[in-house]
Amino acid sequence: MVSLPEPLRSSTTGIIIPVLGFGTAAYPSAEHKTIKDSILHAIKLGYRHFDTAAVYQTEEALGEEISEALSLALIKSRDELFITSKLWCSDAHSQHVLPALQNTLKKLKLEFLDLYLIHWPVSLKPGKCEFPFPKEHLRPMDFKSVWEAMEECQKLGLAKNIGVSNFSCKKLETLLATAKIPPAINQVEMNPLWQQKRLREFCEEKGILITAYSPLGGPKETPWGTNQVMQCEVLKEIADAKGKTIAQICLRWAYEQGVSFVMKSFEKTRMEENFNIFDWKLSPEELQKITQIPQQKGWPALDFIADNGPYKCIMELWDGEI
């Protein structure tokens, strides 16, 4: 098992989160056995942070493999793991938050989550947990009441920490204006081609930690994926010069920015490669080159834009941070 660096900590919220997370989002859905085998192999390698969501339909597989890891003595207790899941938009209504979390815990066979996130700053008509979804089902989210329900989940001990995903600075401001418990994490797209400097500065000021998803851009066949990161010439030149892969350069860069990140790969060699980023550094010159890469968001999330929905254009969804 490979040793990992110290976890990230926030003195504001008290969260302690492992740097490297194993993601379980698969699109189109991977076979149940493939996901299970990958999760178990990840635990054997030393992954301890696992990221799932109601809409991924991988909570049951993760729960089964946590039980398997315990029975095989790969871990001594559930407390060795950090488990994140997310509230889907169809349950982003105050009265549905607690039942949704209870359903997630039932699927995972767990008594609590380490982190529960609001997946998107938007609600859907209550009902089916699905993506994509009919755009006529889009609804504005009542941030105040939904967050109060999230706070209740933490007070009940069902989620040790609560947070958000895909929230802009402006939407975080709105949430913080009435929050009694601030969000511990904002999980967002972040990689060398979408560095999120303004959002990172804002979150640091507020004591909110960032978790990066799509740190490599994501597979192009997924709605959120883009090949542009892995095809970036600047990153290729740095990788070649250091004898590393482009993926390793991206992950090392994210680590040096002081964020945690979620990587998804069901290929065992790549899962192992992702670990080999903690015993070397990028030079100041290499970091400067990465800073100068032209910025382009990989996934504008057009699925959440609709003429009759709460966000009628991309600028409204991301509040100009695009």
| CA separation for the pair 199, 195 (Å, rounded) | 9
Distance of CA 209 to the CA centre of its chain: 12
Q: Which of 47, 56, 213, 255 is catalytic?
A: 56
Contact between 208 and 185 (Cβ < 8 Å): yes
CA distance 11 to 2: 27
CB contact at 8 A, 125 and 173: no
8-9 and 16-17 as β-strands: parallel, antiparallel, unpaired?
antiparallel
Please report where in the chains the tokens 């590393």 appear, as a residue.
244
Are residues 63 and 104 in contact, defined by beta-carbon separation less than 8 angstroms? no
> What backbone torsions phi and psi does residue 128 show, to the nearest 5 degrees?
-70, 135
- Residue 235 near residue 250 (C-beta atoms within 8 A): yes
Helix (H, G, I), strand (E, B) or coil at 299: coil
Cis amide bond preceding 28, omega within 30:
yes
Element (H, E) at 290: helix 284-291
Residue 116 annotated in active site = no
The residues that are catalytic are 56
